[in-house]
Amino acid sequence: MAVKLKLTRMGSKKHPFYRVVAANDETRRDGRPLDFLGYYNPMVEPADVKLDADKVKEWLGRGAEPTDTVRALIKKHMG
């Protein structure tokens, strides 16, 4: 069972808000996550990103694979 770091969609229609979560790769997009790692709000300028660096590093150390979007957010936020 592989773990992915991915986005779950929140917010209303045409006003997306995303949570960054660790979840099994077989879980649907908005399924039950293993852990909440932060959030991403693309509706403000500049986009608002808040990640818990300790949790992200912990999950990456355990072998979790980030999706392309989450990888870009981690690179931008954590350097």
Q: pLDDT over 90 for what percent of the chain?
A: 80
Question: Among 31-35, 52-56, 70-74, which is the least confidently predicted range?
Answer: 31-35
Q: Say if residue 50 is exposed, middle or buried (CB neighbours under 10 Å; 0-12, 13-18, 19+).
A: exposed
Task: Give me the mean pLDDT over the 64-75 stretch.
Answer: 94
Residues 78, 71: Cα–Cα separation, whole Å:
10
Domain span holding position 12: 3-78
pTM: 0.87
| Beta strands at 35-41 and 15-24: parallel, antiparallel or unpaired | antiparallel
Question: What is the number of domains present in the chain?
Answer: 1
